[in-house]
Amino acid sequence: MLIAIPDLLDMPGVAAIRAIIDAADWVDGNITSGHQSALAKNNLQLPEDGVAAKKAGQMILDALGRSPLFIAAALPLRIFPPLFNSYAGGQSFGVHVDNAVRIQAGTGFRVRSDLSVTVFLEPPEAYEGGELTIETQFGVQQVKLPAGHAVLYPSSSLHRVEPVASGRRVASFFWLQSMIRDDAARQMLFDLDRSVQGVAAQLGQDHAEVIRLTGVYHNLLRRWADV
């Protein structure tokens, strides 16, 4: 499952987040790396326990809560607080798989990383390179979206950030634990949800077929959900 979330943030939202994080002090990105990632990672990052990361991260969490597409696709149970990174001057992040469990520093909060999320915070024309390259069952996909757009993809996938040859790539990134552990089951529920919405738009929410399909969706969710 690789799904783009258009306009998660509007332009004023992007500008507000950038004003917060651009004024903060950035550090070596390996402060949150596991052993494998540390061998491949070369970027800057905001300290996750800093005021700027917490304030800007809450703005992204609020936007996620307002996105029906994100909720339908991810079926989130727990979301790791958003982090922020920056690439420039040839910096990159080589091929890696995200850690299976992410633990918030200094707390007992942890999530199983079912899905990874990147929220782009820099216009794509402002930097060269920096594509998020994800190896999927359908081949290699490269993602470089407008500022304010997000992409959702399996944390188990091999992925990398290509070198940034010029300009600066700024983004938020984080992980989430879905109510549905299995990616194929989650995809089926997402497809069914979109179909229910499409039929409802044609026939009305109170049509017998819409009610029956909605029941199928919730009964599958009830069968598969881990809450």
Q: Give mean pLDDT, residues 122-137.
A: 96
**Nearest alpha carbon to residue 147 among 168, 164, 163:** 168
Distance CA 83, CA 38 (A): 16
Q: CA 142, 137, 189, 61 torsion: positive or negative?
A: negative
Cβ atoms of 22 and 84 within 8 Å: the answer is no
Q: What is the 3-state secondary structure (H, E, C) of 45-89?
A: ECCCCCHHHHHHHHHHHHHHHCCHHHHHHHCEEEECCCEEEEEEC
Q: Identify the residue whose tokens are 């909605």.
A: 214
* pLDDT above 90 for 31: no
Same domain (yes/no): 204, 141: no
Same domain (yes/no): 161, 210: no
Predicted local confidence at residue 36, as pLDDT = 56
Predicted local confidence at residue 74, as pLDDT = 98
Q: Tell me which of 144, 159, 178 is where a domain ends.
A: 178
Same domain (yes/no): 53, 108: yes
Same domain (yes/no): 10, 43: yes
- Can you give the CATH number for the domain in which 200 is found? 4.10.860
* pLDDT above 60 for 33: no
Cβ atoms of 189 and 221 within 8 Å: the answer is yes
pTM of the shown model: 0.93
Q: How confident is the model at residue 137 (pLDDT cuts 50, 70, 90)?
A: confident
Same domain (yes/no): 112, 212: no
Q: Identify the residue whose tokens are 């529920």.
A: 189
Same domain (yes/no): 161, 195: no
Same domain (yes/no): 43, 145: yes
Predicted local confidence at residue 30, as pLDDT = 78
| Greatest pairwise CA separation for the chain in angstroms | 59
* pLDDT above 80 for 32: no
Same domain (yes/no): 174, 188: no
Predicted local confidence at residue 34, as pLDDT = 55
Same domain (yes/no): 156, 198: no
Is residue 159 annotated as involved in ligand binding? yes
In percent, the amount of the chain with pLDDT more than 90 equals 90
Q: Give mean pLDDT, residues 136-145.
A: 93
Q: Give mean pLDDT, residues 198-217.
A: 97
Phi and psi angles of residue 145, each rounded to the nearest 5 degrees, phi first:
-105, 160
Alpha-carbon dihedral of residues 123, 150, 192, 111, nearest 10 degrees?
170
Q: CA 113, 3, 26, 131 torsion: positive or negative?
A: positive
Same domain (yes/no): 216, 142: no
Cβ atoms of 180 and 189 within 8 Å: the answer is yes
* pLDDT above 60 for 155: yes
Same domain (yes/no): 116, 212: no
Distance CA 98, CA 95 (A): 10
State the residue range of the domain holding 193.
183-224
Indicate the number of domains in the chain.
2
* pLDDT above 60 for 18: yes
Distance CA 147, CA 1 (A): 22
* pLDDT above 90 for 37: no
Q: Give mean pLDDT, residues 179-183.
A: 96
Is residue 98 annotated as involved in ligand binding? yes
Predicted local confidence at residue 169, as pLDDT = 98
Is residue 35 annotated as involved in ligand binding? no
Q: Give mean pLDDT, residues 163-167.
A: 98
Q: Give mean pLDDT, residues 121-142.
A: 96
Q: How confident is the model at residue 138 (pLDDT cuts 50, 70, 90)?
A: confident
- Can you give the CATH number for the domain in which 142 is found? 2.60.120.620
Find the length of the chain.
227
- The number of helices, as runs of H, and strands, as runs of E, in the chain is 6, 17
Phi and psi angles of residue 84, each rounded to the nearest 5 degrees, phi first:
-135, 135
Same domain (yes/no): 187, 174: no
Is residue 168 annotated as involved in ligand binding? no
